[in-house]
Amino acid sequence: MRLAKVLGRIGRVLITAGVLILSFVGYQLWGTGLHTADAQNDAESAFEQAQREFEDSGTLPGEGGGSTTTTASGGATTTTAPGGDNGSASREIPAPPPEGALMGRIQIPSIGADWYFYEGVDLAILKDGPGHYMGTPLPGQPGNAAIAGHRTTYGAPFNRVDEMKSGDDIIVTYATGAEFTYGYRSTEIVTPDQVEVLHAKDFDEDGEVDNMLTLTACHPKYSARERIIIRARLTEEPVPIPPNQRRPEAPQSFESDSVEAGPVSQTPAILWGLAAAMVWLAAYFVGRAWRKLPAYILGFPLFTVVLYIFFKNFYALLPSGF
């Protein structure tokens, strides 16, 4: 009889542990997306505000009074004021924003992807949406522009990039109204140390350097063992890079640690874990002293909220998301 009670308690502990593990997996796959959804809503509002400001004044938020537009015309670089009657304003690419700031919008209609993307690929930035690799050209400029995104967590912006095929387009839009279309070319799987794909150059049939967009994401799904690389080719003339545009060092890894520098404190995860355990025990003892079902019904919402915050802090202690 005593053995049966011991085995029963062990069984309940194992079941509880299994439920918690499954809940954490659920948080990784769907719970992290709540943060990204909020960030994307804020980005949409900021992007629309920047569009309105540019239409009204020819400048973006944070810019000074004057603004110029660099366009490609017969291979030459032409600088004109926005709002001119030659239509060149639609080709303006804003100057690179500070790391972590909103940059533009990326759409892949064939797989239903529509996201606002940021400058930088630090893990803190990729929680909000896709990020542009600093050190690569901006989309629409000559060379190999590169953008990273999560594949299964934080909204999974690049979840279905493996489904892309010939004829699919990638559209990048800036708040200035400039829009650039890239046509899908190829898919490649590489190891995490093969960062040369971010510096790679391709050549067209005439031997000229192709202007590309490279998308990177973890591979396979639910793993960070490899990287999936999507190549696309700009379908129009690029906008020349202004001579005075800053050029940071080319990226040497698929992720950086510049924003999330330093170790993450374990204290919040420990405290919230203890809080979740206390809520669980409180519901248990109240149930024994009163009635189980009402106690569990009353305690479940509070336990869920505390457990969510614990998962959020615990996940921050783990290696790179995927």
Predicted confidence at residue 206, as pLDDT, reads 56
pLDDT for residue 192 is more than 60? yes
Predicted confidence at residue 7, as pLDDT, reads 83
Predicted confidence at residue 48, as pLDDT, reads 96
144: left (phi over 0), alpha (psi -120 to 50) or beta: beta
Average predicted confidence (pLDDT) for the chain: 83
Best CA proximity match to 159, nearest among 118, 111, 226, 204: 111
pLDDT for residue 117 is more than 50? yes
pLDDT for residue 125 is more than 70? yes
pLDDT band of residue 111 (cuts 50, 70, 90) is very high
Predicted confidence at residue 199, as pLDDT, reads 81
pLDDT band of residue 126 (cuts 50, 70, 90) is very high
pLDDT band of residue 137 (cuts 50, 70, 90) is very high
Predicted confidence at residue 175, as pLDDT, reads 95
Of the given ranges (2-11, 36-45, 261-270), which has the lowest mean pLDDT? 261-270
For residue 153, which amino acid is it? T
pLDDT for residue 159 is more than 90? yes
Q: Tens digits of per-residue pLDDT, 84-107?
A: 343 444 689 999 999 999 999 999
Q: Give the whole-number percent of the chain exceeding pLDDT 70.
A: 81
| CA–CA separation, 162 and 174 (whole Å) | 25
**Helix ranges, the chain (H):** 2-26, 32-57, 123-126, 267-289, 292-315
Predicted confidence at residue 161, as pLDDT, reads 97
| CA–CA separation, 112 and 98 (whole Å) | 28
Higher pLDDT, 8 or 168: 168
Predicted confidence at residue 320, as pLDDT, reads 63
pLDDT for residue 287 is more than 90? no
pLDDT for residue 295 is more than 80? yes
Higher pLDDT, 209 or 306: 306
Q: Tens digits of per-residue pLDDT, 41-80?
A: 999 999 999 999 998 887 776 554 433 333 333 333 333 3
Predicted confidence at residue 69, as pLDDT, reads 38
pLDDT band of residue 29 (cuts 50, 70, 90) is confident
Residues whose CB falls within 8 Å of the CB of residue 9, separated by 6 or more in sequence, listed in order: none
- Per-residue pLDDT, averaged over 180-187, amounts to 96
Best CA proximity match to 160, nearest among 93, 97, 123, 115: 115
Q: What radius of gyration, in Å, describes the C-alpha atoms of the chain?
A: 25
Predicted confidence at residue 255, as pLDDT, reads 62
Contact 232, 266 (CB under 8 A): no
Predicted confidence at residue 223, as pLDDT, reads 87
pLDDT band of residue 205 (cuts 50, 70, 90) is low
Q: What is the DSSP string of 104-161?
A: EEEEEGGGTEEEEEEE---HHHHTTS-EE-TTSPPTTSSSEEEEE--SSSTT-TTTTG
Residue with tokens 């992007």: 47
pLDDT for residue 283 is more than 50? yes
Predicted confidence at residue 41, as pLDDT, reads 97
- Per-residue pLDDT, averaged over 173-192, amounts to 95
- Per-residue pLDDT, averaged over 235-260, amounts to 70
